[in-house]
Amino acid sequence: MSQAELVMTRLGARPAAPALRRTPSDDEIDAFERAIEAPLPGGYRQFLAGYGGYCFRTRVVFPIAEACPWGQLGDIDVFLAVTGDPAFDITEAATRTYVGRVPDETIPIARDPGGNLVLLGVEGMVVGQVFFWDHEYRALAGRMDQLVDDLRAAGADLRRLDSAGIIHAWERRFGDRPVGYGNTYRVAASFDDFLASLRFAS
């Protein structure tokens, strides 16, 4: 058995929506890689084919390596899949839903029950690395007015920016991390390390 099979069997993984679960063809995964303009790290490509669209019967968590406003454990609700259902579809998530919201070098591969994401690096210096993405930007909680004031003082035009755009504009000018990483926290150096870290919540 592969590492993925061992981990997913041990944790009682099952299809989140059995009627929609199917194994994508190599051509479909190739099409996804073309859509994101990057190859998938080898271990993840195989995982996507075998376990995209899977969830767990009980709560499964993973450690977050950096200090994070959500605490030091993340949850898995479902792994995204190659499917026609937009609720689970990785192509929809990576090329439409989260474009401009998650770092450009990453793609969403799973989500938690609250809307946070697990991201996988597919380009540049973060290829293969896994991150936790905080959809609420908790590190900036209560500071949006200050971000707007900072940007206006710097002469920025904010008329066409939504909240994520304001945050990215502020990160570009004033942040101490790369743009898009202000609400992104390192989980593992590789997808295999991420899989190995999954465990039942105590």
Residue ranges per domain, the chain? Answer: 3-131+183-200, 137-180
The pLDDT value given to residue 54: 96
Query: Which pLDDT score, from 0 to 100, does residue 187 have?
Result: 98
C-alpha distances out from residue 202 to 60, 71, 150, 185, 199, Å: 9, 15, 43, 22, 9
Instruction: Please tell me the predicted confidence (pLDDT) of residue 120.
Output: 98
DSSP track, 42-74: HHHHHHHHHHTTEEESS-EEEE-SS--TT-SEE
- Whole-model pTM: value is 0.91
Q: How many CA atoms lie within 13 A of 199 on its CB side?
A: 9
The superfamily CATH assigns to domain 3-131+183-200 is SMI1/KNR4-like (3.40.1580.10)
74: buried, middle or exposed (CB in 10 Å: 19+, 13-18, 0-12)? buried
The reported pLDDT for the residue numbered 18 is 81
Which pLDDT value is given to residue 180?
A: 83
C-alpha span between 177 and 25 (Å, rounded): 38
How high is the pLDDT of residue 97? 93
One digit per residue, pLDDT tens: the chain, 202 residues? Answer: 899 999 999 999 999 988 777 899 999 999 999 999 999 997 999 999 999 999 999 999 999 999 999 999 999 999 999 998 888 999 999 999 999 889 999 999 999 999 999 999 999 999 999 999 999 888 887 888 998 999 999 999 988 888 888 888 898 888 888 878 889 999 999 999 999 999 999 8
For position 177, what pLDDT does the model report?
A: 80
